[in-house]
Amino acid sequence: MSQNDFVGAGNSAGAKPRYDVAIIGAGFAGLSAALQLARARRTICVIDGGEPRNRFATTSHGFLGHDGKTPTEIRTTAIDQLCRYDTVVFRTTMVTKAAACKVPDAPDRLFDITLADGSLIETHRIILATGVRDTLPDIPGLNERWGKTVLHCPYCHGYEVRDTEIGVIATMPQSSHQAMLLPDWGPTTYFTQSGPTPDQDTLMTLRDRGITIETSPIVEILGTAPAIEGVKLADGRILPIRALFVGPTVSMPNPIAEMLGCQFETGPQGPFIEVDASKETNVPGVFAAGDAATAGHNATLASAAGVMAGVAVHQSLVFK
């Protein structure tokens, strides 16, 4: 069975299709939610544009049972397994509009979703698992190394750059916390990037961890990408850094959550969708999971949040 536009037997052709649940995003969170709902025999439409956040990463680490696999390999295996359930539909496209609607024959709330090709579907519940879009500091050479030698999560990638010279680029107050972790993997330099110098207590902790504090900002990454041979500083010096950790600024990859009226919280890297303990947003019937709905980003946590959302959505359909 094809992973693209696969239609399970639980859906009929003809009029505007109606599903129990539409899942927007087929990353670790969306696919984990889909699996719970497929096993509950609910009709599901998974909609994904084919540009997952982790597509830049060479490998995924720290995900139990999948350590060292590529994100694409993990995702492909998950979709293959979901295609065995006859109530699952995959649509490889983008969502352009979503809104609540009301129809006479449906006492429960319904949502209209418009796809990029102009087609429409109806759904009783929505799970937003869109992930986020990353924006890196404007430093030449940074973007082309993202996910390979320019990294974000020490737990996901620190082991792969162990015993090399590591740099941390300050982008937010929590960057100093990130820097404090990294000496367990290699000698670490903290670049304040012309930002405020950490307070005295933070400076003492950084130095106690053996971290070098560098106030001259990085202006260029040197070497043939994806390798890093060093970094050039504004004062002309070149330091032999081999890997860089940076906290990107994050944003929603599309306006669907805003269209639906979801509330947001402000995290250290950018906004994320506000959810309750069951992963439901302030909009009844709309749930969110994964990187789009948390300040902390991790593959295992995204998958777990997807499981929680899937279970909560199923129970919301039972106990209306």
pLDDT for residue 195 = 81
Q: Point out the domain boundary residue: 198, 224, 246.
A: 246
Buried-state track 192-201, b at ≥16 Cβ within 10 A, e below 16: bbeeeebeee
| Whether residues 260 and 225 fall in one domain | no
Residue numbers in the chain where pLDDT is lower than 70: 1-14, 103-107
Q: Point out the domain boundary residue: 223, 246, 269.
A: 246
- For residue range 22-44, list pLDDT tens digits in order: 999 999 999 999 999 999 999 99
* Preceding amide of 226 cis, omega within 30: yes
Contact in structure between 264 and 272 (CB atoms under 8 Å): yes
The CA-to-CA distance between both ends of the chain, in Å, stands at 34
pLDDT for residue 285 = 96
> The CATH number of the domain where 157 resides is what?
3.50.50.60
Q: Point out the domain boundary residue: 185, 219, 246.
A: 246
- For residue range 282-313, list pLDDT tens digits in order: 999 999 999 999 998 889 999 999 999 999 99
The answer to the question of residue 2 being in a domain is no
Q: How many domains are contained in the chain?
A: 2
What distances in angstroms separate CA 97 from CA 2, 115, 117, 122, 124, one per listed residue?
Answer: 26, 7, 12, 12, 16
| Whether residues 33 and 101 fall in one domain | yes
| Whether residues 238 and 143 fall in one domain | yes
What distances in angstroms separate CA 21 from CA 34, 112, 317, one per listed residue?
Answer: 9, 12, 9
| Whether residues 180 and 112 fall in one domain | no
Question: Tokens standing for 188?
Answer: 């670490």
Question: Tokens standing for 267?
Answer: 């995290």
The answer to the question of residue 233 being in a domain is yes
Pick left, alpha or beta for residue 202 (phi over 0 → left; psi -120 to 50 → alpha; otherwise beta).
alpha
* Distance, CA of 280 to CA of 82 (rounded, Å): 23
C-alpha closest to that of 172 among 196, 155, 140: 196
| Whether residues 259 and 231 fall in one domain | no
Question: Tokens standing for 3?
Answer: 């992973």
| Whether residues 88 and 213 fall in one domain | no
pLDDT for residue 1 = 31
- Cross-sheet strand order for the sheet of 218-222: 218-222, 230-233, 238-239
List the alpha helices (DSSP H) in 26-169.
28-39, 71-82, 154-157
* Distance, CA of 50 to CA of 214 (rounded, Å): 39
The answer to the question of residue 85 being in a domain is yes
The answer to the question of residue 1 being in a domain is no
| Whether residues 71 and 113 fall in one domain | yes
pLDDT for residue 63 = 87
Contact in structure between 254 and 130 (CB atoms under 8 Å): yes
Range(s) of the domain holding residue 167: 137-246
pTM: 0.90
